[in-house]
Amino acid sequence: MPNLTRFLRTRVTVAAGVVAAAAPLALIPPATAADVDPKVKAAEAERVKAVNLVRPAVAAVCFYGGQVCGSGVVISEDGYCLTNYHVTEGISPVMQCGLADGLLYDAVIVGQDKIGDVALVKMLPKKEGDKFPFVQLGNSDDTKPGEWSMAMGNPFGLALDFTPTVTYGLISGTQRYQPPEGKGTLEYTDCIQFDTSINPGNSGGPLFNMKGELIGINGRGSFEKRGRVNSGVGYAISINQIKNFLGHMKAGIDTDHATLGAMVITDGEEGGEELNKLVFTQILDESDAFRRGIKPQDQLSAFAGRPMSSTNQYKNALGLYPKDWRVPITVRSAAGARKEMLVRLMGNIDTFVGEQEQPNQPKPGRPGRPGQPPPEQNPAQAKAKKSPAAKLVVEKKGYANFHFNKLETDRLVAAFTKQHGSAAAFGGNWAIDGTVQLVDGRSGEVKITWADDKEGVTEIKINRNGIEDSLKPLSGNLSQAELALPQGSGGLLLALYQLRVFLTKMQAGFNPNENIYPGFVHGGTEPVYPMPADVTSKAPPAATRTLCEVIRTKKGQFEGKWFFDPKDGTLVGGESWFDKGEDPCELYFSDHKDVSGVKLPHKVAVRWGDKGYAVLTVKSYTLGKK
């Protein structure tokens, strides 16, 4: 018993000691604001400041009538708003968007990127001239794993007043690849992975860095299978990828992603200098890669400035670009010769190579519409037909909304005319006198003439030191050799013919019947690599890259592109085709001077394929009268 008494006394003493030790803790006063590390307070203040800065521009994308189906973000004061394609695909072209001011705004689809899962819509102000709050586009290439990020949107349609929900978390990875869903659409290349929580309804909403800059559009996540619960893995389309397609979407285009027109695989060589390298196995005859001389077993060393050692890297880089863009690539032949070249990308075709989805991995999903009915079951959609946005819808194959292509075309033509003046009054015969310097070192005098017969058929001639070539482009039954004159130029006569049609007639000169083929349309944006005006210069073309706005034209069977400085509408260059299976004749314009009230180029550099042809220097123009 004494021992038991001693044991109980000890236990009570120990217990009492614990209580006694705990008692002083309860008396410690809670931390005050003065006790918080100033750095923590400053970081919190900056975070709150960033949220308040961008919150007014975060949108809830809705069926007409206000049923939320996703999120978006306004990127310009005139109401252009980015979201996901998979958010808008189930809505009619007319919709509504709610902002944090609690108001619903009528909106209309502008452009879309089905493969990249991006859509652009235009919100209409309540009063003409009103401006929308908008966010700044960041540089997603600067985003690094471990940095903080903010996602904003309307998950589950929680905020009936459209005030966006804010979540906060880490950037988990960059340059991730997520394969397409369904029929090759919704392919996430070079995307941003994050653990910032997103859920159904967040689709199309913004991902911000901590400066409040837009770095991505949220679209996919890995979810727990049964409850659609976020597993902490989300994906955003990088804003730098979206920037490449934004000019196309603003022009109402249903965009297409690029392919190289070739298949590449990873080839590992044990014991070699390169354990992983990408080699070409198949190349389409009609591809630019084939025309540039790439052959099976050649190695792809770099693509658009990125070193290449795996198909994942290749698919990530390829997915950043629209079709028809040109990018620099580096190829090493099977014999070891290294060559840098510009390659024109083709439209998206099935050249998929690479790793298949691994078993037992979380299947990516889309945090999209939170259980909203399809539009045909939504009576509010009938009201959309009475919306002022309904008047802004023009359907045409190849376009999400052709109305906006007309707007962009007219805007660009107006900018060009303001910069260059109008040559519409000079529709008669034209002539140029000047000099020519060929890349082979020859030089001399040159004279170019355009002459119209009584039926309006144009004949164009070029005379170089007594050597004359001539062409009547619309006379019919012309051989490819005739259309390619002068020899080695890829069709300089045809290109100059189309140039004069463009300068004197604009839209009216190119297949004006838009119901058959819109022969004068805005083509979005595209990088141009001007040839130096000094034909002897060795500057690599990639170093001259400039992003231009594009007008695409079609005259009879002949197609052209015309490139403009987006800042002021200056004509920078043009391309002319007589056969899409061949390289175009490329023209690059500089030294614009006034001629009878029209500003015309006095230097024209000519390139065909990967070779320069000549530089024309104009001494004088003779412009005819109508």
Active site residue 203: yes
Of 92, 106, 113, 117, which one is the catalytic site residue? 117
Cis-peptide into 486, omega within 30 deg: yes
- Residue holding tokens 């043009």? 574
Strands 611-623 vs 430-438: parallel, antiparallel or unpaired = antiparallel
> Could you tell me which of 581, 585, 578 has the C-alpha nearest to residue 612?
585
Beta-strand runs (E) in 23-103: 58-62, 68-74, 80-83, 94-98
Of 203, 301, 387, 489, which one is the catalytic site residue? 203
Contact criterion met (CB below 8 Å) for 125 and 105: yes
Name every residue whose Cβ is closer than 8 Å to that of residue 151 and which is 6 or more positions away in sequence: 166, 167, 169, 194, 196, 197, 198, 202, 205, 206, 207, 208, 218, 234
Contact criterion met (CB below 8 Å) for 465 and 583: no
How many Å apart are CA 555 and CA 530, to the nearest integer? 24
Q: What is the CA radius of gyration of the chain?
A: 31
> Could you tell me which of 147, 170, 162 has the C-alpha nearest to residue 205?
162
Of 86, 403, 420, 522, which one is the catalytic site residue? 86
How many Å apart are CA 363 and CA 189, to the nearest integer? 16
How many Å apart are CA 85 and CA 217, to the nearest integer? 11
Chain-centroid distance, C-alpha 426? 37
Beta bridge partners, 206, equal 217
Contact criterion met (CB below 8 Å) for 144 and 174: yes
3-state secondary structure 103-151: CEEEEEEEEEECCCCEEEEEECCCCCCCCCCCCEECCHHHCCCCCEEEE
Beta bridge partners, 305, equal none
How many Å apart are CA 230 and CA 285, to the nearest integer? 46
Residue 452 CB burial class (10 angstroms; 0-12, 13-18, ≥19): middle
How many Å apart are CA 208 and CA 216, to the nearest integer? 7
Amino acid at 263: M
Question: Which residues are catalytically annotated?
Answer: 86, 117, 203
